[in-house]
Structure 1
Amino acid sequence: MVEVIPEHIKDVWDRWNIRGAIILSLTLQAILICFSPLRKRTPRRLLIMLVWSSYLLADWSANFAVGLISKNQGKDPKPDAPPQDKNLMALWAPFLLLHLGGPDTITAFALEDNALWLRHLFGLVFQAIAGVYIVLLSIPNSLWVIILLVFISGTIKYLERTTALFSASLDKFRDSMIQAPDPGPNYAKLMEEYKAKKEARLPTKIVLIDEPDKANRPKKLEHRSFVSDIKKLTDIEIVQYAYKFFNTFKGLVVNLIFSFRERDESLEIFENLNEPEEALRIIEIELGFLYDSLFTKIAILHTVFGTVSRVIASGTLVAAFILFDKKPKKDKLFNRADVVVTYTLFAVGITLDFISIVLFLFSDWTCAALSSLKDNPDEPPTLKERFLNWLLSFRKLRWKEQKCHHKCTEQGKKPCIKEGDDKCSSVLTHEVLTTPFFLRRWCGSINVFNFLVYATKAEVTRIHDARGSFRRNSWKIITFPFKILNLIIQKPSGWIAKLINNVHTWISHKVNELSRKHPWARRTIYPIYFEFLSRIPHFIKYVLDYLSEFFDISDTLDTFQRSLYVHGEPMTKELWTFMFNELKYKSKFGDNPENAKRISLARGEWTLRDNLPENADREKLVRYITKMDYDQSLLMWHIATELCYQQEETAPESYDEKDHYSYREFSKIISDYMMYLLILQPSLMSEVAGIGKIRFRDTSAEADKFFQRRHIENEKSVKKATVNILDVDSEIDPMGVKGDRSKSVLFDASRLAKDLKDLDDKYKKNKWEILSKVWVELLSYAACHCDSTAHVEQLSRGGELINFVWLLMAHFGLTDQFQINKGDARAKLIIGK
């Protein structure tokens, strides 16, 4: 009988399977604790794939190793094996329970994992039973004290993970924020008294005394006053405010409603900040608290239960190691390789515990727990606060002046990227975010995608590029193979069909020629080829098309091609300041729930009506928003923004050049960012995307057809494409000519771009200022209408600008979740004379 697996391979597996599974489990734990914190700093798919695979394999490998040990304990030892190997393997079982507890830096890979807390609880019970079974099989065992200590540590770690999952499940997360039931004023008692007074013929009436409305609300907050001299917040105050607002606004995740008091408190602080950067820092720490609460153990460890359990778990593990190390004659009692494995388990376990403790002690949670907001902000800082400020200063936002170039985009020139380059006719300096990778709290960049760049297959260029020349060239080398692959897969059906057609033509010609010369060929080869062989390529193409549609391969290829045209723009301080001031200005009009909801529902029309005089031209622009779906309006305004951007490289003399180019840059970045969200982040835009992908594909198809007709499909020039699109007379509505079957908006966007140009010509209005404000409004609409769980999920993939806008709008009270405006009324019975 032939053996599929050779005997020597079986022997190696029998000897090393348990050790291999143990080492694999330990390695996966090390990967998770080291790399899982990085996923909130970068959206790189390679890192996310590494963490995801390690997360899934970690539990499997530990369970598999427990099964192998259990099977081994039930067998009689081989003659050449040391007599007490089973005793040492009984010590490994509680180590696997320790591994199943997982590292502190990740408990859930996705929010759905938190809902499986009950499964983990059952796993704890059965793994504990399996561990006890393994130990009982090894009795008598001289290591029983060490095993007991490790078992206690592993059980505590597993309980910590289960508790973290339980508290982060959305139902429990919501329940933890719901206050005690509020029956309101005692209506029945009041009415009984009212009825009794009426029956006694007493002149009685009920007077309602409402809670103070906004006009009578106190201006000052109890914990800090901003009325006098506005002072820059210290690093520890930034963390304290972030922790305070985290506890207030974490209810956004589960769609709770808020009161006017919470809105006013947040609004007063954010309106009186020294600079918008402080708001950015508060929000990034606040989002960090939210991430830690839902994806890690950190929130649990910063409770009394968590701190005590961690001290016990770490202490018992260290005590077990000391007892094992002091045990005499280990080399004689146990296999030397098994002793090395055991030492490795202890060493790595204690090291990972130490890393967890360091992360615990130096986290934002610890800083928030060790200090509290002062009533008097002018009070000098204590020694503890000075130390915490010094510690937090390492994670402050770093900004670097970066020269962005605008006029040199004309005639196909690449933007200048070297400082001091005298070839550029206009240089504007902005501060870009350059916080070092390991000190970031989020990715710090804005991914952008441009429709016309994708349609023309032009080279992607950046407005700001904070990378050095080495990183820039390295990135080009890395992406070069993918670009080649993209060229191969761009139109596979086209060149394959052409090749098949050429081969078919040649063979057909030869078969016809042979059939004319030889009658036997006409009776045999001719019918065989034309009735059977020539149809095989068509059959293969049909099968490939069917499989492609069934497995959604074409959509995957499309997504891959689009991702090649995505690049990251670093966050600039000027862009954040602009968005902050825009939302701050709008917050003045959101003084009640109705107005706040009206502003949050605005998709650009509020800005147009606020900045333009009331006339037919203004209403024409407003119709491009109000009379269309959000995704249709978004794609149209994006293409129109790019058409305007490519056409204008010089600022009108009547405008301040720096402001003009800043607004132009803001419009370009936010426009491209919104297109990235619509096309490549469908989960974030699922509530507002509509048929955005269909519109994108139809518009892309019309652009391809148009470029081929103009013979510019191989030019790869956005500038030339812009000129040709705007050259088409679009006086008549495209829908009136083409109908509404195609969802393309290419020439609707051309009409919009021409209407926007009139703002400069007719009204002397800076169209870029208005455009940039429209884009902030479009972004704000998407942010507050995005599903809250999608916002939280994105935090585990580096975070996005839209997450910051979502929370900033909540701080300014610009959401429809501030619905408690008056609270309970107090009623009094008044008896007249």
Structure 2
Amino acid sequence: MDSNVFSAERLRAVWNEWEIRMLVLTSLALQVFLLFFAGIRKRNVSAVLSLLLWLAYLLADSIAIFALGYLSQTPKGVDPQFFERTHSIQAFWAPFLLLHLGGQDTITAFSIEDNELWKRHLLSLLSQVALAVYVFTKSRPGADILAPSVLMFLSGIVKYGERTWALKCASMDHLRSSMVTTPDPGPNYAKFMEEYRFMREAGLHAEIVIEQERRPEVAAVDIAEESVPYTTIVTDASRFFVIFKRLFVNLILSFQERTRSQATFLRLAPDQAYKIIEIELSLMYDTLHSKAAVIHTWYGRLSRCMTLLSTSTACLLFNVLDRGKYQSYDSTDVCITNMLFAGALCLEVYAIGMMLISYWTYAALQGCNCQSLGSLIFRSIKYFRPESRAKWSNLMAQHNLFSFCIRDKPTMLTKALSLLGLKGHWDSWLYIRHIDVSPELKILVFRELKDKTVSIVDAESYRKFSNHRGQWALQCKGYYKELGWSVEVEFDESILLWHIATDLCFHTDDEDDDKDNAKIAQYVKISRAISNYMLFLLVARPFMLTAGIGQIRFGDTCAEARNFFEREMTQPDERAAARMVLDVNAEIAPRDVKGDRSKSVLFDACRLAKSLLELQPHKRWRVIRVVWVEMLCYAANKCRSNFHAKQLSSGGELLTVVWFLMAHLGVGEQYRIEAGHARAKLIVEKN
């Protein structure tokens, strides 16, 4: 019994001695993790990585704040002499905790909503700095650590201030206000009209002539595609980013900006056009989720130099000038202090290196005409960020209705998850997969948008094409009369109709036509990829589509499909299930037979599939393919900009890439100013 009490007391004493040490070292470890892994999430869709980063992001602040609070108290059960000997150097860790609260360059906000809380972070900055100063002064530090402490306080306050300022700069209100152009009152109307009146009163013939500003020529249809070097891609991306980032805050662009963008993109090969967009979206991610908007300014670079200099000087003062002064401190605490110094310096040097080899730095040097230094930076960028590496995940999620209905079985687990409201997350983990966005799909989208761009002749055409979600494709192919009904219904209904019809056509044998099998296989692959992706958006990302009842319609369709498949003694596979559906006589519209209480579209899709199966295979899949591309572009154009911005931190979304490509090619609703700026001239003639 006595030995147990002795062991418990000893264990408690050891914990009291090491508690603050473990907290400080954990805080440092979290900062290292965030620096090295936070930037990966813009190229990764892993839910595990996202969860770990979320936990690290939340714990990093909580542990640092808790450690500061711990240092401000006198722990119970600690030997007073030991506390007096250790607390002075442990209080020196307070500015390091401020440094940790300042966060890393790679992550300031986990989600875009965090940026709106910058005022809360400002209050936290003031309170935590005050607490750190209180902790340090309470310990009555000696003159030996006073100078290093002041320098570390300087670094910590600057770092924490950087983070707060970065959050403010990335808030939507600040972004929008910073992008609003300077107010333009236009020509002096009162003065102009006064001159006009004087001329008329003087008996002169005065006439006002309005001259429209000359519009740049729109790119011609037969412009040949050019292959440009990587330097041009990076330069164009940095130049366009300054203009097109306004789309994320719902600001419109002018026709001049549309024409300049078209002139560039219509000449580019598809893969290079996508590279420009990837870099632009990467820069936007940096703006919203990192310190890029702050550190890539003159004051940001100055603060970087200041924090590096002050931290290294503090380390030098603590370790080199007079080591004998620190013999009175606990050797373990001295070792931990040196670990904190080493961590702070390594993180600072690494962050500066990342800053130097960024697109931001190269763009700034291009603006300053520093060709030699810019060339050196670009070679580093090309090595560490090669052109071949995607700047986003380059993945598209896949969800299939038939596969889901066949595999999803009610169990005790799924019932429990439904009660807890977690069934959707379980389904996403179990039934949604990701595939690479194929080069063929990218090229197809680019060519279709390019064809639309060069066929547009006026402002009304831009709006008309951006509102098509299959109509234009069916009209061009000559099948609108037979199939147009399927794209005139609500958008979520169109997605389900064409998704099921695509699967039904896929699972139908076409062995009787062996011609152009390779080309047909490519059409099928692209069509099914977009089909499954659009269903994923409908089920898991409904906020990215137009308002509707897509999830209700999906649930009703799944319920009808399960009931229908239960007619078989054995559970059918996807091909057998498709054949069962196609065997149903669907001459009369299902709504006319069973009413519209259920929103299921299973057998409406069967009618659509039977109409498609009447076409030759190559014609059928060409129609399906172009309809899906048009639906994809419509969804991208109609998605609100803040939802596009939100997906940048989750590996990116194909829908966002398509949206930005449409904006660059001038197809969309982002342009409102269609006429040139009028310039009035006063023509005076003698009578």
Mark yes or no: TM-score above 0.5. Answer: yes
Of 808, 816, 820, which aligns to 2:669?
Answer: 816
**Alpha-carbon shift at residue 276 of structure 1 (Å):** 0.9
1:830 matched to 2:683? The reply is yes
Of 269, 292, 295, which aligns to 2:289?
Answer: 295
Q: Partner amino acid for 2:471? A: E
Deviations 1:129-167 (A, max 9, x none): 222222322335221100011011111111111111111
Residues 435-450 of structure 1: matches in 2 within 5 Å? 440-450=390-400
Q: How many residues align?
A: 678
Alpha-carbon distance change, 787 to 229 in structure 1, aligned in 2, over 3 angstroms: closer
Contact 2:20 2:67 in 1 (8 A): yes
1:747 matched to 2:600? The reply is no
**Alpha-carbon shift at residue 597 of structure 1 (Å):** 1.6
Alpha-carbon distance change, 777 to 691 in structure 1, aligned in 2, over 3 angstroms: same
**Alpha-carbon shift at residue 199 of structure 1 (Å):** 4.4
**Alpha-carbon shift at residue 331 of structure 1 (Å):** 5.3
Of 453, 457, 463, which aligns to 2:407?
Answer: 457
Contact 1:593 1:818 in 2 (8 A): no
**Structure 2: where are the runs of 5+ without partners?**
none
1:638 matched to 2:491? The reply is no
- Residue aligning to 1:670: 530
3-state SS, counterpart of residue 74 of structure 2? helix
Q: Partner amino acid for 1:721? A: A
Alpha-carbon distance change, 578 to 300 in structure 1, aligned in 2, over 3 angstroms: same
- Residue aligning to 2:581: 725
- Residue aligning to 2:166: 164
Contact 1:559 1:680 in 2 (8 A): no
Deviations 1:554-576 (A, max 9, x none): 65224413531222221221111
**Alpha-carbon shift at residue 228 of structure 1 (Å):** 9.4
TM-score (norm 1): 0.77
- Residue aligning to 2:626: 773
**Alpha-carbon shift at residue 452 of structure 1 (Å):** 0.9
Residues 332-481 of structure 1: matches in 2 within 5 Å? 332-371=327-366, 385=375, 388-389=378-379, 391-392=381-382, 395-396=385-386, 398=388, 440-457=390-407
Contact 2:542 2:550 in 1 (8 A): no
Distance (whole Å) between structure 2 residues aligned to residue 744 and residue 129 of structure 1: 62
3-state SS, counterpart of residue 209 of structure 2? strand
Distance (whole Å) between structure 2 residues aligned to residue 103 and residue 187 of structure 1: 53
Alpha-carbon distance change, 262 to 44 in structure 1, aligned in 2, over 3 angstroms: same
**Alpha-carbon shift at residue 20 of structure 1 (Å):** 2.3
Distance (whole Å) between structure 2 residues aligned to residue 12 and residue 213 of structure 1: 78
**Alpha-carbon shift at residue 397 of structure 1 (Å):** 5.6
Residues 556-705 of structure 1: matches in 2 within 5 Å? 556-612=422-478, 618-626=480-488, 628-650=489-511, 652=513, 656-685=516-545, 688-705=546-563
**Alpha-carbon shift at residue 101 of structure 1 (Å):** 0.4
- Residue aligning to 2:54: 52
3-state SS, counterpart of residue 599 of structure 1? helix
- Residue aligning to 1:707: 565
Distance (whole Å) between structure 2 residues aligned to residue 491 and residue 287 of structure 1: 38
**Alpha-carbon shift at residue 88 of structure 1 (Å):** 1.0
Deviating more after overlay: 674-683 vs 617-626: 617-626
Distance (whole Å) between structure 2 residues aligned to residue 82 and residue 567 of structure 1: 56
**Alpha-carbon shift at residue 677 of structure 1 (Å):** 1.1
Of 778, 798, 807, which aligns to 2:651?
Answer: 798
TM-score (norm 2): 0.93
Deviating more after overlay: 108-117 vs 385-394: 385-394
Q: Partner amino acid for 1:663? A: Y
3-state SS, counterpart of residue 44 of structure 2? coil
Q: Partner amino acid for 1:740? A: D
Contact 2:496 2:554 in 1 (8 A): yes
Distance (whole Å) between structure 2 residues aligned to residue 445 and residue 697 of structure 1: 26
Distance (whole Å) between structure 2 residues aligned to residue 372 and residue 319 of structure 1: 33
Alpha-carbon distance change, 649 to 382 in structure 1, aligned in 2, over 3 angstroms: farther
Deviating more after overlay: 572-581 vs 357-366: 357-366
Q: RMSD between aligned alpha carbons?
A: 2.8
Distance (whole Å) between structure 1 residues aligned to residue 266 and residue 103 of structure 2: 42
Alpha-carbon distance change, 194 to 709 in structure 1, aligned in 2, over 3 angstroms: same
Distance (whole Å) between structure 2 residues aligned to residue 731 and residue 233 of structure 1: 55
Of 143, 150, 157, which aligns to 1:148?
Answer: 150
Alpha-carbon distance change, 333 to 593 in structure 1, aligned in 2, over 3 angstroms: farther
Contact 1:236 1:392 in 2 (8 A): no
**Alpha-carbon shift at residue 189 of structure 1 (Å):** 2.6
**Alpha-carbon shift at residue 293 of structure 1 (Å):** 0.6
3-state SS, counterpart of residue 95 of structure 2? helix
3-state SS, counterpart of residue 210 of structure 2? strand
Q: Percent identity?
A: 40
Residues 260-271 of structure 1: matches in 2 within 5 Å? 260-271=255-266
**Alpha-carbon shift at residue 603 of structure 1 (Å):** 0.6
Deviating more after overlay: 244-253 vs 205-214: 205-214
Contact 2:219 2:266 in 1 (8 A): no
- Residue aligning to 1:223: none
Distance (whole Å) between structure 2 residues aligned to residue 447 and residue 725 of structure 1: 26
- Residue aligning to 1:316: 310
Distance (whole Å) between structure 1 residues aligned to residue 368 and residue 584 of structure 2: 62
Residues 153-302 of structure 1: matches in 2 within 5 Å? 153-213=155-215, 217=217, 231-273=226-268, 275-302=269-296
Distance (whole Å) between structure 2 residues aligned to residue 80 and residue 138 of structure 1: 13
**Structure 1: where are the runs of 5+ without partners?**
221-225, 375-380, 399-434, 459-485, 493-543
Q: Partner amino acid for 2:382? A: L
1:96 matched to 2:104? The reply is no
Distance (whole Å) between structure 2 residues aligned to residue 386 and residue 171 of structure 1: 37
Distance (whole Å) between structure 2 residues aligned to residue 793 and residue 183 of structure 1: 36
Contact 1:638 1:672 in 2 (8 A): yes
Alpha-carbon distance change, 593 to 741 in structure 1, aligned in 2, over 3 angstroms: same
Q: Partner amino acid for 1:702? A: E
Distance (whole Å) between structure 2 residues aligned to residue 649 and residue 390 of structure 1: 52
Deviations 1:314-344 (A, max 9, x none): 1111111111112323552111221121111
Q: Partner amino acid for 1:206? A: I
Distance (whole Å) between structure 2 residues aligned to residue 702 and residue 490 of structure 1: 23
Q: Partner amino acid for 1:826? A: R
Distance (whole Å) between structure 2 residues aligned to residue 645 and residue 578 of structure 1: 20
Of 391, 416, 419, which aligns to 1:553?
Answer: 419
Deviating more after overlay: 695-704 vs 195-204: 195-204
**Alpha-carbon shift at residue 676 of structure 1 (Å):** 0.9
**Alpha-carbon shift at residue 298 of structure 1 (Å):** 2.1
3-state SS, counterpart of residue 743 of structure 1? coil
Distance (whole Å) between structure 1 residues aligned to residue 380 and residue 19 of structure 2: 49
Contact 1:638 1:671 in 2 (8 A): yes
